[in-house]
Amino acid sequence: MAEYFGSKVEDIFNTMPERFLPEGVKGVDVVIGYDITGEGGGKWFITIKDATLKVEKVDALPKCSVTISTDAEGFVGGALGKIDTGEAFSSGRLKVAGDVTALLNVLPKAFTPFQPVVRAKAIVESMPARFRADKAEGQNLKIGYDLSGDEGGAWTVVIKDQTCTLKEGLDADATVTMRMAADVFVGLNTGKIDPGAAFGGGQVKIDGDMMAAGATAKLFGKFVAAGAEEKQGEELIALKFLPKIRQRFASGPHLGMWFHGLKNKIMYASKCPVCGRTQIPPREVCAVCRVRCPEFIEIGPKATVTMVDTAYYASPDPLTGHVRQTPYAALFMVMDGATPGESFSHELNPKDIDRIKPGMKVRPVWNDIRTGGFKDLLYFEIDD
């Protein structure tokens, strides 16, 4: 299984039960799906209900309240804080479908942050770096580690002339060989298992010089997990919160008329009673003559393109919050029947991006289901 920043995707899911905080999710009822691509990825979903957690790995995701899709490296990096999830989101690397608010509210309260899982291999490989030469004067030792289990392996640590080297495999002439399960080895090195109990209880078997086994401890500095050392630094305070602002949007008579028109596939402009110019979408006042414009006229539906603005940056769509597919293009156009110079802006059907040019005629494409909202008019396309 592939590792990213020293951790695997499955580590994050496997540690969820122990990181779960039932008091943080009282009254929460949510199913979160994860679709993680790339090596070491897969599909998982977690169910949080009645302050209990269920984590399941599946071939196909069931219906979820919210689904997170990203690649394995991005997922692990995000969990470890190595990759900025905000950036991953705006660049489209991380996609969230469904109830985003529920996700932002639930996850920080449901789990303590993921800490890298310490592996036996990482502990053994750090031994030369942790070696304390000043304590090893006159020592000539070969210490074998025979660790069983999925995360196990066999290594020999050679201490000679106040230097420490590591090699894979066991030597027949080792001073001492210690045999144990890899997770026991990890527990001993991270302080989670009491050495007395492990040695006394038979979890560790020692072949060879018992005294040498006892002497190894003082030859090495304490093992510190990757990432754990950073927490020793200065404490900084940052408060995270999710303010909710209630909003009320009143259409007013002119935009009300505009949306009423869209519902019926009609585009209305307001017409100035003094200068005769049209404004689309309609506005209550002509800003040139400073008079009210109560009169509506029907314009379009076709238009002449004056300018095209093509975007290649995957920004979030402010109307939906979803990351837009790139490239996309905005059109500026003069509707048929509108005053020249009064341009209207809308999106272009992405299929026409390669062909569109100023001066071309375009026509609107309407949504089949129209509710009197901004989604009623989908986009414009080349009229040919």
- What is the 3-class SS of 12-37, one letter each residue? HHHCHHHHECHHHHCCCCEEEEEEEE
CB of 174 to another protein, least distance (A): 49
Q: Which amino acid is located at 59 in the chain?
A: D
Q: Is 245 in the site for another protein (CB under 8 A)?
A: yes
One residue of 252, 273, 276, 316 binding another protein per CB under 8 A: 252
Which whole-number Å values give the CA distances from 275 to 106, 247, 295, in the listed order?
A: 57, 36, 13
CB of 186 to another protein, least distance (A): 33
Residue 17 DSSP code: H
One residue of 211, 239, 319, 369 binding another protein per CB under 8 A: 239
Strand partners, 141: 159
Question: Cβ-count burial of 324 within 10 angstroms (0-12 exposed, 13-18 middle, 19+ buried)?
Answer: middle
Q: Is 249 in the site for another protein (CB under 8 A)?
A: yes
Q: Report yes or no: 288 and 339 within 8 Å, Cβ to Cβ.
A: no
Taking contact as CB under 8 A, which single stretch among the options 20-28, 200-208, 237-245, 360-368 is the one that binds another protein?
A: 237-245
Mark residue 23 as left, alpha or beta (left: phi above 0; alpha: psi -120 to 50; beta: remaining).
Answer: alpha
H or E, element range at 291: strand 291-292
Q: Is 241 in the site for another protein (CB under 8 A)?
A: yes
Strand partners, 311: 328
Site string for another protein, 83-122 (x = CB under 8 A): ------------------x--x------------------
One residue of 240, 312, 319, 368 binding another protein per CB under 8 A: 240
In the chain, the largest separation of any two C-alpha atoms, in whole Å, equals: 105
Strand partners, 47: 31, 54
Instruction: Please state the separation of Cα 98 from the chain's center in Å.
Output: 14
Give the interface size with another protein as a residue count (CB under 8 A).
28
Taking contact as CB under 8 A, which single stretch among the options 45-53, 74-82, 156-164, 249-257 is the one that binds another protein?
A: 249-257
Q: Is 281 in the site for another protein (CB under 8 A)?
A: no
By C-beta, is 5 or 259 nearer to another protein?
259
One residue of 236, 320, 357, 384 binding another protein per CB under 8 A: 236
By C-beta, is 200 or 321 nearer to another protein?
321
Q: Is 370 in the site for another protein (CB under 8 A)?
A: no
Q: Is 235 in the site for another protein (CB under 8 A)?
A: yes
Helices (H), 81-228: 85-90, 100-110, 120-125, 127-130, 182-190, 195-200, 210-216
Taking contact as CB under 8 A, which single stretch among the options 141-149, 207-215, 235-243, 342-350 is the one that binds another protein?
A: 235-243
Q: Is 260 in the site for another protein (CB under 8 A)?
A: yes
Residue 234 DSSP code: -
Taking contact as CB under 8 A, which single stretch among the options 48-56, 169-177, 246-254, 354-362 is the one that binds another protein?
A: 246-254
Q: Is 312 in the site for another protein (CB under 8 A)?
A: no
Q: How many residues does the chain have?
A: 384
By C-beta, is 107 or 224 nearer to another protein?
107
CB of 283 to another protein, least distance (A): 13
CB of 353 to another protein, least distance (A): 31
Strand partners, 4: 7
| Separation CA 282–CA 269 (nearest Å) | 5
One residue of 329, 372, 378, 382 binding another protein per CB under 8 A: 372
Positive or negative: CA dihedral 201, 206, 209, 214: negative
| Separation CA 117–CA 12 (nearest Å) | 9
One residue of 150, 234, 354, 368 binding another protein per CB under 8 A: 234
Binding site for another protein (CB under 8 A): 101, 104, 234-253, 256-257, 259-260, 294, 372
